[in-house]
Amino acid sequence: MSSTYGDNLKLSIFGQSHGPAIGMVLDGIPAGLPVDLEVLQTFLNRRAPGQNDWSTPRKEEDRPEFLSGLLEGFTCGAPIAAAIRNHNTRSGDYANLKDCPRPGHADFTAQIKYGGFQDAAGGGHFSGRLTAPLCIAGGLCKQWLEERGIQIGGRILSIAGCSQTDDPLDPCAHAIPPIGERFPVVNPQVGEAMRQAIADARAEGDSVGGIIQCVITGLPAGLGEPMFGGVEGKLAQILYGIPAVKGVSFGDGFGAANLRGSQCNDAFAMENGKVRTATNHSGGILGGITNGMPLIFQLAVKPTPSISQPQQSISLSRMENLELEVKGRHDPCIVPRAVPVAEAAAAIAIFDMILGNTQTNRRK
Amino acid sequence: MSSTYGDNLKLSIFGQSHGPAIGMVLDGIPAGLPVDLEVLQTFLNRRAPGQNDWSTPRKEEDRPEFLSGLLEGFTCGAPIAAAIRNHNTRSGDYANLKDCPRPGHADFTAQIKYGGFQDAAGGGHFSGRLTAPLCIAGGLCKQWLEERGIQIGGRILSIAGCSQTDDPLDPCAHAIPPIGERFPVVNPQVGEAMRQAIADARAEGDSVGGIIQCVITGLPAGLGEPMFGGVEGKLAQILYGIPAVKGVSFGDGFGAANLRGSQCNDAFAMENGKVRTATNHSGGILGGITNGMPLIFQLAVKPTPSISQPQQSISLSRMENLELEVKGRHDPCIVPRAVPVAEAAAAIAIFDMILGNTQTNRRK
Amino acid sequence: MSSTYGDNLKLSIFGQSHGPAIGMVLDGIPAGLPVDLEVLQTFLNRRAPGQNDWSTPRKEEDRPEFLSGLLEGFTCGAPIAAAIRNHNTRSGDYANLKDCPRPGHADFTAQIKYGGFQDAAGGGHFSGRLTAPLCIAGGLCKQWLEERGIQIGGRILSIAGCSQTDDPLDPCAHAIPPIGERFPVVNPQVGEAMRQAIADARAEGDSVGGIIQCVITGLPAGLGEPMFGGVEGKLAQILYGIPAVKGVSFGDGFGAANLRGSQCNDAFAMENGKVRTATNHSGGILGGITNGMPLIFQLAVKPTPSISQPQQSISLSRMENLELEVKGRHDPCIVPRAVPVAEAAAAIAIFDMILGNTQTNRRK
Amino acid sequence: MSSTYGDNLKLSIFGQSHGPAIGMVLDGIPAGLPVDLEVLQTFLNRRAPGQNDWSTPRKEEDRPEFLSGLLEGFTCGAPIAAAIRNHNTRSGDYANLKDCPRPGHADFTAQIKYGGFQDAAGGGHFSGRLTAPLCIAGGLCKQWLEERGIQIGGRILSIAGCSQTDDPLDPCAHAIPPIGERFPVVNPQVGEAMRQAIADARAEGDSVGGIIQCVITGLPAGLGEPMFGGVEGKLAQILYGIPAVKGVSFGDGFGAANLRGSQCNDAFAMENGKVRTATNHSGGILGGITNGMPLIFQLAVKPTPSISQPQQSISLSRMENLELEVKGRHDPCIVPRAVPVAEAAAAIAIFDMILGNTQTNRRK
């Protein structure tokens, strides 16, 4: 495992789905940054399960206990540690996973890599539940970014093929639904179709995937350390730490491959004494460095692999094929709950880059 | 800049497009690995410019001089350093870039970040020319992977919307054209349409983008260190170090977002005593760890930003808009030359993961 | 703060002396390693305070709760997290430290660096109490090293100038007292003089320092990654993380500076088909790499800065000199309790190097 | 090998003693820093061999060629690469080292670690010659530190037991001889005794060691990131990258072990509105963080292992003992040439810490 992230801050995430606790340590954070634990809890609640008809009925409060690093509402310079106790565990549901791996899950690769010693219950350290401590760290970073005027907003771009339309030529088109919405879409009608698609899949014991888009505004130009510490690479590394993500793209992403240079290049223009681009195909990044326009990225989320339909699998001990029925409580679609996770991951990466911005702070 | 990559090996890339030399240092490589410099040169030639009608007429031999790390055809344990002299430079073409940035290039963000001290000639350290030392390192790693039975093959999936079709349900469909082809496509008719699209763009002073797909076979199951050292994250970080890449995806990628779980999950099956999956939607990765099936990823490459049509830009000194005509020699489409670069980047990331495979080697 | 250590394993230490808890996360450990929690507790008890007449009367049980990473007596591949609750806290003793810093402590530098936001109570994150989580990680690594036949033993070389004599020409002279001793010395008479020196200092409200020596046997030859990942550098980095350490040396250390080459070089000799050195001035390291002989290093520990005699200090707010009397509970000599800490730190560094031994494991 | 150093800057050193070239890449340096190549050459000349009667007669000009990263006298933000060609090589002198290792050298450990593939000529990558690229990087960092008012000065504290006396209670006693001296001592009479000791050793085919002390003035208080990124740990890691160093200590170092707390604690005092300490036993560091007083450290350098007297060694192939006579050109004492190397290493570590000073720059 390598559940440690960051060049300047150091985030370390721990826990298994059905172990005593999950949590995180966040090191390298300057002292004196304010922390509002109520705002953090509101953010964590956006990810928490058991609250509506598209998420697992497993109820966890996701209420972190801070073990260190905070003093009287501010960071104190010492590493920030927080843990969430696991209460509502039902390990018995997962007894057989080491021998008979679930398709689409990490059961098989964990068995190969960890030789049977892994904690398979609920997916162990691979569980989506581990995104809760990611949201603790990200929720804190979000607060500190907002202090600097940087906002990160995510929304659902598509679910099960039901897609919102956007005019990517217009940077202002990247509207963000009001922050805090549980099902953040711009077009309510499309949102209704998405919910219906989820309900249909649930009814059939199946699941659906989707695409999330995040927009980051207020970023200074000049952030990012190419070649390998560029904005895209830093964001992609942490975003791929979110289970079920199969694609990450920036600006026009894969759509850029179909454009001509004359269409894809964003013309520069002076606007009230500031440099802007007329369009934002680049997603706010040129050469791995922010250009001051909104940073835009997309995440492809595969359908939840846990479905209740029978599936073909194998017995590793008997080396034979068999049919598997997955039990347990699952989300028919994790896309809505993954939106705050994507925001959290982006907040961590951006705050790390701001801490390490060698150029802007240091030449003076 | 952060042009250093790797957890176990350490790759450091240096140089500017029109400076004295470009090159790389590759540290952390075990002693005793064989190096075939002719095979390496053949690989580097696939990327080299000036050889056909879709690449820039700038001719550079890309013939590296090895300064250290090799002894009598083997690595000697010391860091491997190599440099390529820059000969065919025409800095005069780029005189005005600090004041009047080219749309789609890093001129503007470099000016903001480096305060005018950057080497703007030919894009400086942001130039696609810096992928040559990436190919030196990657070409070496490719040799060492091939020794272990691991093959990396890339091909052009689409250019300017001309796209090859694949049956992603069939893992065997991911055929790789013979290695070494300059324009690697599976379907020659589609390849012809792609070349025509490039020729059309060139005739109109424009450029086109495309999508590259790489397939890695022979990988052991169990590679990858989730959460943040998973296979996707490690590959994405280095792939985004290639200029013009706007998207990276694995397996079905963004297409997975439209599938149901029952379609996207790859059923397990025993086949001659080995575990296989009937399909390969996951691209050979579950939970950030290889499952022994072919690893498949895609890169979205935006159209070359250098076009000869007039474009809207600005004068930073005069703070006013103006029209810009970009001179210099450029590729109307960099996708074919980017194929070996993608292979090289993947080879570096995979070899790094093999060196650091804590689990497989170390429990025993 | 940068309380994260390691290239292959990743250790993250958190907590403040009087905060809710102290603890650690240890990531990157292979699955399937056995863990004996009783053996660990016995090791932790060697460091725990309040047990005899040379340590602080503050009593803490130092009994860690494991939050993740262990399953049925083995590591499970997921990060290992453990926390120790702080119970016996008396923050009131430390109220004034932000304004009036104690000489020899980090109060002043913390005030400058963290701008008054630091948790000053009991030294906060700078407290010697933070060596308890270091001992959790190190105690685990020690178990895993012992499984491979590697033993780490520490002893007190001198306290307050009372010094044991050794013949450094004889590698067998580096005898280690039986493991688990609270006051590990080879010569009991010298040990008695040391205890008397501690008692004298305590009686006068003063403190004393000393020198610790550790010997590591059973190491394979070939460990260490020079130039900057050599054995000495890796060990020194973690050993300097122990509060009060002012010097680290290897083999003959500073004594080597007075020798001639003909005295200091260790002659090679074949002994029963194995390569040995006749002497061990080098401390088992040549060129940053272990040579298979016992690895020997020394730590200089300054006298505990907390003394009850009046001292000259300042008021930062009033910018004037004043006389300070330090209250609170303190060790008149931390050297005996620092012995297991030095062993723990060395165990972490050595296990990290074994995990990352690129050469030995990987060429085959 | 792990010849890469740094958290914020990334230094990569390459080359073997008798390979085509030695050199370095220095990444992560802000753009716009001035570089004076003449001042750099003067610094490099202090280390260069062949210039006087205490160094090897091998003559190398140590004149680096800069391959990238500089533009018109300033850093340009891109990685800085420089190489020095090896001209005056005599590989034949070292033919037998793989079978018959020299005592005190890395021949044996390299043979074990690199399995015979290492470049043994002249010590290969282990050669003291590799300190030349360290001095390129360090010489640049020194210039940038001097711009900020930070001076690093080294001197010889003892050679062969001939020792200068100092009053460590007086921080002003740490006088530095004029920078640029080839044999920097404070007391000329002691210096004469040192030179005589070197001459005596040379006459007898032997060698001598010594102790170097460096003093860094002008440092801001607040530098260093404890626990594991503290000033001592960061400096020790790079200093142990210098061949022949067997001990690193700070302030009173091993002498602190003999003091009482009441002697070793440095009393604080206000002096013209600034916080000072009356003494400087701590060497300017408290809790791993600079306190604004001069930073003082010592290096123990063992006697050069290359001596011309016959020594006992072995034949690895024949597994038998034999007598060895080492040929080649050697320094009877490397201490004088190691002084600028120690300064260079310290400059790199300090500049790295300044770049990454998360607290001072970032809270605002």
Q: Which of C31, C66, C78 sits opposite A115 (nearest CB)?
A: C31
Q: What is the mean pLDDT of chain C?
A: 91
pLDDT at D363 over 50: no
pLDDT tens-digit map of C142-161: 999 999 999 999 999 999 99
Q: Which of A28, A29, A358 sits opposite D355 (nearest CB)?
A: A358
Q: Considering only CB atoms, which chain B residues are within 8 Å of C27?
A: none
- Asked if the Cβ–Cβ distance from A363 to D77 is below 8 Å, we say no
Structure tokens at C223: 């460990």
How far is residue B16 CA from its own chain's centroid?
18
| Amino acid, res. B20 | P
CA A162 to chain B, closest CA, distance in angstroms equals 8
pLDDT tens-digit map of A259-313: 999 999 999 999 999 999 999 999 999 999 999 999 999 999 999 999 999 999 9
Q: What is the mean pLDDT of chain A?
A: 91
- Measured at the CA of A295, the angle between CA A262 and CA A221, to 5 degrees, comes to 90
pLDDT at C168 over 60: no
- Asked if the Cβ–Cβ distance from A2 to C81 is below 8 Å, we say no
- Secondary structure letter of residue C300 according to DSSP: E
CA B235 to chain D, closest CA, distance in angstroms equals 21
- Measured at the CA of D57, the angle between CA D51 and CA D63, to 5 degrees, comes to 60
Spatial separation of the C-alpha atoms in residues B90 and B97, rounded to whole Å? 14
Largest CA distance in chain B: 72
> Is the bond preceding B24 in cis, omega lying within 30 degrees of 0?
no
- Asked if the Cβ–Cβ distance from A79 to C12 is below 8 Å, we say yes
- Secondary structure letter of residue C40 according to DSSP: H
How much is the pLDDT for B186?
84
pLDDT tens-digit map of C243-289: 999 999 999 999 999 999 999 999 999 999 999 999 999 999 999 99
pLDDT at B151 over 60: yes
Q: How confident is the model at residue A169 (pLDDT cuts 50, 70, 90)?
A: very low
ipTM: 0.95
CA C97 to chain A, closest CA, distance in angstroms equals 15
How much is the pLDDT for D12?
98
Q: Considering only CB atoms, which chain D residues are within 8 Å of C115?
A: 359, 363
Structure tokens at B182: 């300059």
Count of pairs with CB atoms under 8 A, one residue in C, one in D? 382
Averaged pLDDT, B13-34: 97
- Asked if the Cβ–Cβ distance from B211 to A254 is below 8 Å, we say yes
How much is the pLDDT for B168?
47
Spatial separation of the C-alpha atoms in residues D120 and C257, rounded to whole Å? 26
Instruction: Give all chains having 3 or more CB-to-CB distances under 8 Å with chain A.
Output: B, C, D
Query: What share of chain A has pLDDT > 90, as a percent?
Result: 80
What DSSP line would sit under B183-232, residue for residue?
S--S-HHHHHHHHHHHHHHHHTT--B-EEEEEEEESPPTT--BTBTBSHH
Least Cα distance to A32 among C88, B259, C304, D359 occurs for D359
Q: Considering only CB atoms, which chain B residues are within 8 Å of D20?
A: 65-68
Instruction: Give all chains having 3 or more CB-to-CB distances under 8 Å with chain D.
Output: A, B, C
* Helix/strand/coil for A135: helix
**D299 half-sphere exposure, CB direction, 13 A CA radius:** 35
Q: How far apart are the first and last CA of chain B?
A: 40
C-beta separation of B82 from B24 below 8 A? yes
Query: What share of chain C has pLDDT > 70, as a percent?
Result: 88
Structure tokens at A101: 């791996």
Contacts (Cβ under 8 Å, ≥6 apart) of B92 = none
C-beta separation of C312 from D278 below 8 A? yes
Among A126-135, B177-186, C25-34, the least confident range: B177-186
How much is the pLDDT for C187?
86
- Asked if the Cβ–Cβ distance from B363 to C32 is below 8 Å, we say yes
Q: Find where tokens 């906002």 sit.
A: A151
> Is the bond preceding D227 in cis, omega lying within 30 degrees of 0?
yes
- Residue C332 main-chain phi, psi, to 5 deg: -70, -15
Q: Which of B7, B239, B264 sits opposite A302 (nearest CB)?
A: B264
Q: Considering only CB atoms, which chain B residues are within 8 Å of D31?
A: 113-115, 117-118
Best interface-test mutation with D: which of B25, B72, B87, B134 has the largest number of D CBs within 10 A?
B25
Q: Considering only CB atoms, which chain B residues are within 8 Å of D25?
A: 12, 14, 25
How much is the pLDDT for D331?
86
Q: Considering only CB atoms, which chain C residues are within 8 Å of B8?
A: 356, 358
Spatial separation of the C-alpha atoms in residues D68 and D80, rounded to whole Å? 5
> Which chain D residue shows the shortest CA-CA distance from B3?
D27
Best interface-test mutation with A: which of D75, D354, D359, D360 has the largest number of A CBs within 10 A?
D359
pLDDT at B277 over 80: yes
Averaged pLDDT, A328-341: 90
- Asked if the Cβ–Cβ distance from C76 to A32 is below 8 Å, we say no
Q: Which of B355, B359, B363 sits opposite C362 (nearest CB)?
A: B355
Q: Considering only CB atoms, which chain A residues are within 8 Å of B300?
A: 249, 253-257
- Asked if the Cβ–Cβ distance from C313 to D270 is below 8 Å, we say no
Q: Which of C225, C355, C359 sits opposite B362 (nearest CB)?
A: C355
C-beta separation of D350 from D145 below 8 A? yes
pLDDT at D58 over 50: yes
Q: What is the mean pLDDT of chain B?
A: 91
pLDDT tens-digit map of A52-89: 666 665 565 789 999 999 999 999 999 999 999 998 76
Q: Considering only CB atoms, which chain C residues are within 8 Å of A1?
A: 27-28, 77-79
Structure tokens at C126: 């700078």
How much is the pLDDT for D346?
98
Spatial separation of the C-alpha atoms in residues D339 and D299, rounded to whole Å? 10
- Asked if the Cβ–Cβ distance from A358 to D28 is below 8 Å, we say yes
CA D177 to chain C, closest CA, distance in angstroms equals 21
Q: Considering only CB atoms, which chain D residues are within 8 Å of C224?
A: 109
- Asked if the Cβ–Cβ distance from B19 to D79 is below 8 Å, we say no
Spatial separation of the C-alpha atoms in residues B62 and B82, rounded to whole Å? 11
Instruction: Give all chains having 3 or more CB-to-CB distances under 8 Å with chain B.
Output: A, C, D
Spatial separation of the C-alpha atoms in residues D169 and D174, rounded to whole Å? 10
pLDDT tens-digit map of A12-26: 999 999 999 999 999
pLDDT at B22 over 50: yes
Spatial separation of the C-alpha atoms in residues C220 and D109, rounded to whole Å? 11
> Which chain D residue shows the shortest CA-CA distance from B126?
D78
pLDDT at C94 over 90: no
pLDDT at A347 over 90: yes
- Asked if the Cβ–Cβ distance from D114 to B66 is below 8 Å, we say no
pLDDT tens-digit map of D177-202: 766 678 999 888 999 999 999 999 99
CA B90 to chain A, closest CA, distance in angstroms equals 22
Count of pairs with CB atoms under 8 A, one residue in B, one in D? 174
> Which chain A residue shows the shortest CA-CA distance from B251?
A246
Structure tokens at C307: 């003394």
**A4 half-sphere exposure, CB direction, 13 A CA radius:** 28
Q: Considering only CB atoms, which chain A residues are within 8 Å of C81?
A: 14-15, 21, 23, 83
Q: Which of C2, C31, C117 sits opposite A74 (nearest CB)?
A: C117
Residues of B with CB under 8 A from a CB of D: 1-4, 10, 12-16, 19-23, 25, 27-28, 31-32, 65-69, 71, 74-81, 83, 110, 113-119, 124-125
Q: Considering only CB atoms, which chain A residues are within 8 Å of C25?
A: 12, 14, 25
> Which chain C residue shows the shortest CA-CA distance from B148?
C364
- Measured at the CA of C140, the angle between CA C139 and CA C142, to 5 degrees, comes to 65
Spatial separation of the C-alpha atoms in residues C338 and C334, rounded to whole Å? 6
pLDDT at C297 over 70: yes
Spatial separation of the C-alpha atoms in residues B64 and B52, rounded to whole Å? 22
Q: Which of D1, D65, D69 sits opposite B77 (nearest CB)?
A: D1
> Which chain D residue shows the shortest CA-CA distance from A7?
D7
Compare A186 and C360 and report the one with higher pLDDT. A186
- Asked if the Cβ–Cβ distance from D361 to A361 is below 8 Å, we say yes
Residue B112: its H or E element: helix B107-114
Q: Which of C71, C77, C115 sits opposite A32 (nearest CB)?
A: C115
- Asked if the Cβ–Cβ distance from B1 to D78 is below 8 Å, we say yes
